[in-house]
Structure 1
Amino acid sequence: MAQPDEPQPPVVPSCPLPSKICDVARSERPRSCCGMAMAGFRTAKYQLPEWHRRNAGVCYEAVTAGERAERGRAEAEQLVKHAAASAQRAQQRSKATLGQRLQDVHFWRMELQKEIMELDSETKLLAAQKLRLERALDATEVPYAVVVDNLECRERRQPPDLVIDEVERQLLKEADLIRDIRDLLKRTIIQAATQIRSNRIQKENCELDWSDKVETYHIDDKCVGYCTDSTNVQFHPSSVKFEENASTPKSWAQFSHDNISRAEQEKLASVQLRSLINSIIRDASEDLRMQRAATAEALDARCRELDEAKLRLEQRLGQILKDIGKEEANIANLKKAIKEKEAHLKVAHTRLYDRSFRPNVELCRDEPQFRLVSEVEEITVFLEALKRKLMESEQNLKNLEETRMKLEKEIAVKANSIFIDRQKCMSYRVQYPVDLEVASYKQ
């Protein structure tokens, strides 16, 4: 029995033992070799010591279970506190990490936005330069048409003046210069269009990256706002994994850096191309202006030269006309002199003829007869000389007339050349654009 100073075990109501204990109890009791008629009553009962041990065992198990439960409650309480603190710390760390991530996303988003705006502005500036190139190209059509028209007009010069002069060389040089300028402008327009296309492609890439950053920022910002009191949180077990196509922080930052770097390269190329376009238009305008001045100077010098030549021809024609008048008067005088000499010859011939009828001895070779014969010979010599001189004068008059016609033709040719160079070429060149660079800004 228990001592009085020891605590009494709690009273446990009697309950049937499990079948396992009953089986064990039965198996521990020795079987009697006699009294087989009472075997059934003996095996169904316990001994008193067994009953006490049984009660003590149950009480011990109860005490042990209580202690175990108390330790479990203490451990559970400690675990709850630790789990709560750990979860709070993890949530704070995750929130801080998300906040840092938000800063990174915001930084790259702003950098991309800045690059997009700068690239868009640069593309607009390059498009304006491309429009200047197109206007400059259109402005070269008039000078080229003027030069071609000048060359075609000068082809209508008459053969004596159809020469390869300085004006034609300058016009051909001007035509070649305009063709070269037009080819250069066309190539530069194509280059500008290609650069604009590259700018827009890179701008689109940056915009896609920026759009992803904006969406990511909104998602992470929403995630930062989540807490245990949020009403829109729920379990998503399948999300606790890394996607196969997920990027790393290094590759993520490198992707945006590469986009910005390529945008900077395109922007730099665009700026250089704009500077090149300014230089091309300025140099082309200056070259065209200088060549235009050289051609105009050659035309002006040629017109002065033609004027001087025409003036000299006109002066020579005036002198030839005077010579023709004098020669005609000389021919008239020669004819008059021949006619007078023929009259004298007729008189001498008549005298000789009449004297040939003198009778008999009167037909004498006297002094008058010799004088008349000498007179006939002398007049005949003069007549032949006068007739030769008349022929020479008539030939000279013919030559003078031919010279007059040549001079008149040359004067007409010079007048035609002057009309072509001064009235056709120089007057048409007034439509020439003053400055190609200025024309590139006109609407």
Structure 2
Amino acid sequence: MAQTGILLTKEPAPQTVPVSELPMRVYEPALNTGPDSSCGLATAGFRAAKYLPEEWHQNNYRQYHEAFADRDHSERCRLESQNVAAYTAELAQRTQEDSTVKVGERLQDIHFWKSELQREIEDLTAETDLLAAQKLRLERALDATELPYSIAMDNLQCRERRLPPDLVRDQVEAELLKEAELIRNIQELLKRTLKQAINQMQLNRDQKQICEMDWSDKVETYNIDEKCGRYNNQSTNIQFHPSSSKFEDSASTPETWAKHSHDNIYRAEREKLASINLRALIDNILHDTAEDLRMQCDTVNEAFAKRCEELEDAKHKLEHHLQKILKEIGDQENNIASLKQAIKDKEMPLKVAQTRLYDRSFRPNVDLCRDAAQFRLISEVEELTNSIEALKKELLQSEQALRNLEDTRMSLEKEIAVKANSLFIDRQKCMAHRARYPTVLKLAGYQ
């Protein structure tokens, strides 16, 4: 604060006595050398230490003059002192009033920045709480992805227990692998986003702490200036502090003081905006990841359903063919039994024919004739033999066909068992397990 110099106004001089009326001031001592001076030895003892009347009058005049001059100077000093006292009293009152006004204006500035800092602190606190809620959603969503991942991996492991030839890399397996990869990518994304949210919350708290420290300084300063603004000349707790009128080396200027709070609020607004953007990003990520997971889940379920339909259709066809094979096996067994009976039935006629030929070979002499009967019996034996050979050949073919039918039956039964096992794995194990897949709300972190 610039020191104000005291301007002294020159008051008009008091009226003075004319010079002609003042007594003459004698500066030279009286000499006893005039015509009237006494001399001689008779008067030597009476005139040695005495003054002349003129000297006596001059001394009186000198005293009068000095008294008048001192009185006149005192009157002048007294009048000037009264003027200076009145001026300084008025100046002191005016300066004190101006200082009080300046302190009041300063209180308004401090209150403004204190209110702005308090509002920013409240906004940062509210924003940090909202970001903490989003962080909780991220944690819940990350935990919720563990179940889909375990379901996908369990489905893949269960389908490894399929028997050949159903152990194929079908569309279901491709979609399950895609689902597992999607879940791992989503987990990595959620972990990165969660780390970013934690860092942003720490930045919000750090900036909030800076604003709180600034706000605390403003509150303390406001209380000090408010107390200073209430001081007056009648205050009982005022005293002299001679060394308080100098500026501190570390004191700031009004510009740097305002810039400090402005920068704190600017940085707080920047962190708050970053937090708002991060919350929006988290919301979009959670929404998109939940939708992606549910879409992939539906795709896998559709692939499972389609695969189960294919397996069911193949199983029904195999069972239908098995029924026909079983019927054909029965018919072939009856056919074999018939062939065996037919062969057996040919044995007696063959015996009869051969016995006839054998007995006729004992005919004597010329009677051993190649007659028609002989030719017929020979042809009969040949026919019977050919018939039996033909029947045995058919029997062999039928028995081979029966064995083939039995092998086919076993193959069909095994294939049906494989299909039943695949259906059990896909439908009872995998699809039943997938019924526990989390909902979109849970994947989005709301539950």
Q: Which TM-score bucket, shorter chain as reference? A: 0.7 to 0.9
Match of 2:340 among 335, 345, 349: 335
8 Å CA contact 1:281, 1:436 repeated in 2: no
The correspondence of residues 14-413 of structure 1 with structure 2, limited to 5 A, is 52-413=57-418
- Alpha-carbon distance between aligned partners in 2 of 1:354 and 1:360, rounded to the nearest angstrom: 14
Shift of 1:101: 0.3
Amino acid at match of 1:98: V
Aligned to 2:13: none
Aligned to 2:7: none
Could you tell me the percent identity over the aligned residues?
A: 61
Amino acid at match of 1:238: S
Aligned to 1:13: none
CA displacement 1:352-385 (0-9 Å, x = unmatched): 2222233333333222222222222222222222
Structure 2 unaligned regions, length at least 5 = 1-19, 34-39
Shift of 1:70: 1.4
- Alpha-carbon distance between aligned partners in 1 of 2:272 and 2:340, rounded to the nearest angstrom: 99
SS in 2 for 1:169: helix
Amino acid at match of 2:199: T
Say if 1:378 and 1:25 are closer, same or farther in 2 by CA, change over 3 A. Answer: farther
Deviates more, 1:269-278 or 1:198-207: 269-278
Shift of 1:64: 1.9
Amino acid at match of 2:125: D
SS in 2 for 1:358: coil
Amino acid at match of 2:331: K
Shift of 1:44: 6.6
SS in 1 for 2:248: coil
SS in 1 for 2:86: helix
How many equivalent pairs are there? 418
- Alpha-carbon distance between aligned partners in 2 of 1:180 and 1:335, rounded to the nearest angstrom: 72
- Alpha-carbon distance between aligned partners in 2 of 1:43 and 1:362, rounded to the nearest angstrom: 242
8 Å CA contact 1:113, 1:210 repeated in 2: yes
- Alpha-carbon distance between aligned partners in 2 of 1:416 and 1:220, rounded to the nearest angstrom: 88
- Alpha-carbon distance between aligned partners in 1 of 2:186 and 2:288, rounded to the nearest angstrom: 10
Say if 1:235 and 1:426 are closer, same or farther in 2 by CA, change over 3 A. Answer: same
The structure 1 segments of at least 4 consecutive aligned residues displaced by more than 6 Å after TM superposition are 39-45
Deviates more, 1:46-55 or 1:203-212: 46-55
- Alpha-carbon distance between aligned partners in 2 of 1:111 and 1:40, rounded to the nearest angstrom: 103
- Alpha-carbon distance between aligned partners in 2 of 1:25 and 1:347, rounded to the nearest angstrom: 216
Amino acid at match of 1:164: R
How big is the alpha-carbon RMSD for the aligned residues of Structure 1 and Structure 2?
A: 2.7
Say if 1:262 and 1:409 are closer, same or farther in 2 by CA, change over 3 A. Answer: same
8 Å CA contact 1:109, 1:213 repeated in 2: yes
Instruction: Please state which structure has a larger fraction of its residues in helix.
Output: 1
8 Å CA contact 2:286, 2:444 repeated in 1: no
CA displacement 1:170-217 (0-9 Å, x = unmatched): 211211222222221111111111111111111111111111000000
- Alpha-carbon distance between aligned partners in 2 of 1:58 and 1:161, rounded to the nearest angstrom: 147
TM-score (norm 1): 0.88
Amino acid at match of 2:212: E
- Alpha-carbon distance between aligned partners in 2 of 1:258 and 1:433, rounded to the nearest angstrom: 47
Shift of 1:350: 2.2
Structure 1 unaligned regions, length at least 5 = 10-20
- Alpha-carbon distance between aligned partners in 2 of 1:206 and 1:29, rounded to the nearest angstrom: 99
Say if 1:418 and 1:40 are closer, same or farther in 2 by CA, change over 3 A. Answer: farther
8 Å CA contact 1:282, 1:437 repeated in 2: no
- Alpha-carbon distance between aligned partners in 2 of 1:298 and 1:410, rounded to the nearest angstrom: 22
Matched, 1:427 2:442: no
Amino acid at match of 2:376: R
CA displacement 1:201-237 (0-9 Å, x = unmatched): 1111111111100000000000001111111111111
TM-score (norm 2): 0.87
Say if 1:232 and 1:349 are closer, same or farther in 2 by CA, change over 3 A. Answer: same
- Alpha-carbon distance between aligned partners in 1 of 2:48 and 2:356, rounded to the nearest angstrom: 221
- Alpha-carbon distance between aligned partners in 2 of 1:164 and 1:54, rounded to the nearest angstrom: 145
Deviates more, 1:125-134 or 1:340-349: 340-349
8 Å CA contact 2:149, 2:180 repeated in 1: yes
SS in 1 for 2:370: coil
